[in-house]
Structure 1
Amino acid sequence: MTTPVYDDQNVFAKILRGEIPSEKVYEDDRVVVIMDVMPQAPGHSLVIPKAPSRNILDIAPDDLAYAIGIAAKVARAAKRAFAADGINIMQFNEPASGQTVFHTHIHVIPRHDGVALKPHTGQMAPRDEIAATGAKLRDAIAQEG
């Protein structure tokens, strides 16, 4: 069985290169955090390591550790910003798991008691909605320090 090769034409690689716009809420030299354009709940964001890797099966351990640390920071901010009762942290690996973009990324999704996640339909949310939730999360992350 051959190991799949990283494809630098995936949508997140293009976002990292600035070829596709995104609603960034945090960025440093190792990760970028963007709002999911197909949010399953208000405040759904993605932590994307800048180093190329397909998923947890080939990411460098220090890049994974750093990304999960940022995901925790984003989770605390999202819980506060969206008055969430809980937070889902999700990360998919290979098609059988539901992975559709083959660049490592971590979903951070605010949750509210009794409210189901929206299905991942492939339909993008309105740009103004993404911008508004992005601004709210960006402010909360900045308060996290």
Structure 2
Amino acid sequence: MTDCVFCEIVAGESPAVRVYEDERTLAFMDIFPGTDGHLLVIPRLHSRDLLEIGAEDLTAVTLAAQRIARVVVEELGADGVNLLNCCGAEAWQSVYHFHLHVVPRYADQSKDALVPPWRPGISGDRALLEELGGRLASALG
């Protein structure tokens, strides 16, 4: 893949603070962190996004992210962890190589400036939930 900064990182052509790697995945620190310890986990093989990645690479990335999340809590003292994937420009994807953000969360706001982009705990419209849920259930068989 040409012009993919994450492929360049995998190849050792672009710098990154590498944290973990195995035969299928690579994890490195995010250079635009939302919180202290924010990092990315990617497949070594290029896949554009969640809709394109193969099952084996998706599994490997998810398991690596889980392992790293445990270490983030233990080693950095995080109070929680978010795993985030952005698929498409409108979902905030800015690098078109599948990746999971492992975002440590802290009660200490000096380490964590993130706020939810929506208001959790606000109920959705029941009729819309039923309509959209029915359409999705039908499409999924």
Q: TM range, normalised to the smaller chain?
A: 0.7 to 0.9
- Length-normalised TM-score, structure 1: 0.73
Structure possessing the higher relative contact order (Cα contacts under 8 Å, 6 or more residues apart): 1
What secondary structure is seen at the aligned counterpart in 2 of 1:92? coil
Deviation at 1:18, TM superposition (A): 1.0
Distance 1:8 1:54 in 2: 12
1:90 maps to 2:84: yes
Aligned with residue 65 of structure 1, among 35, 39, 59 = 59
Q: Contact 1:39 / 1:118 at 8 angstroms: preserved in 2?
A: no
Distance 2:98 2:113 in 1: 22
Aligned with residue 75 of structure 1, among 69, 77, 98 = 69
- List aligned pairs for 1:36-55, cutoff 5 A: 36-55=30-49
RMSD: 1.5
Q: Contact 1:78 / 1:84 at 8 angstroms: preserved in 2?
A: yes
Deviation at 1:64, TM superposition (A): 0.3
> What CA deviation, in whole Å up to 9, does each residue of 1:73-101 have, x standing for no partner?
00000011111110010000010100000
- Length-normalised TM-score, structure 2: 0.75
Deviation at 1:118, TM superposition (A): 5.1
Q: Contact 1:55 / 1:104 at 8 angstroms: preserved in 2?
A: yes
- More displaced 10-residue stretch of structure 1: 106-115 or 62-71: 106-115
Alignment-mate amino acid for residue 87 of structure 1: V
5+ long unaligned stretches in structure 1:
1-6, 120-145
